[in-house]
């Protein structure tokens, strides 16, 4: 299946996301574990927003607390924690296996930007993608199926 997520934002948001998507979908990219290689490719506006990597012990302690939370509080805690570079790359480079970033188009109403994905299941997890759009200054719309 293919879906598109419309992006609400101005021309600067569109330009920032198009540039980033072109980097992420280039034929030759570093391995997702090569954080230094990615730091050389990704824009500063994105790199500044990643959370500081946690130690294994910190991750286990956070997970223990998270498991005791209500579903609503879990979602809020995940948003507050933020994304580490490696976690985010796992999803946007398709390692999660649930979706793959396929590119972009300008087919949203009024010629607006849409981020295009390929996926097997619907619904599919979108948190890494919506975070990317938010950090760029845009607003992610609801995913729409493409024919």
pLDDT in tens, 118-131: 998 888 889 899 99
Other CB atoms within 10 A of residue 94 CB: 19
Peptide bond into 138 cis (omega under 30): no
pLDDT score of 117 more than 80: yes
pLDDT in tens, 126-147: 989 999 999 999 999 999 999 7
Other CB atoms within 10 A of residue 3 CB: 21
Q: Where are the domains of the chain?
A: 2-50+83-146
Structure tokens at 28: 């030759």
Report the pLDDT value the prediction gives residue 96, as an integer from 0 to 100. 83
The C-alpha angle with vertex 51 and arms to 21 and 15, in degrees rounded to 5, equals: 25
18: phi then psi, degrees, rounded to nearest 5: -60, -45
pLDDT in tens, 61-107: 999 999 999 988 988 888 888 899 999 999 999 888 899 999 999 98
Report the pLDDT value the prediction gives residue 110, as an integer from 0 to 100. 77
- Look up the pTM and report it: 0.88
Three-state secondary structure call for residue 1: coil
Instruction: Output Rg (C-alpha) for the chain, integer angstroms.
Output: 16
Report the pLDDT value the prediction gives residue 81, as an integer from 0 to 100. 86
pLDDT in tens, 10-55: 999 999 999 999 999 999 889 989 999 999 999 999 999 999 999 9
């Amino acid at each position: 299946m293919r879906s598109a997520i419309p992006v609400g934002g101005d021309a600067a948001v569109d330009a920032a996301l198009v540039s980033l998507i072109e980097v992420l979908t280039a034929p030759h990219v570093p391995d997702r574990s090569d954080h230094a290689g990615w730091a050389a490719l990704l824009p500063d506006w994105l790199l500044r927003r990643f959370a500081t990597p946690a130690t294994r012990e910190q991750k286990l302690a956070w997970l223990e607390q998270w498991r005791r939370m209500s579903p609503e509080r879990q979602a809020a805690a995940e948003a507050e924690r933020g994304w580490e570079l490696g976690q985010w790359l796992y999803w946007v480079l398709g390692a999660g296996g649930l979706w793959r970033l396929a590119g972009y188009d300008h087919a949203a109403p009024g010629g607006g930007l849409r981020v295009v994905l390929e996926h097997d299941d619907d619904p599919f997890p979108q948190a890494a993608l919506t975070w990317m759009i938010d950090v760029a200054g845009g607003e992610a719309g609801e995913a729409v199926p493409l024919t």
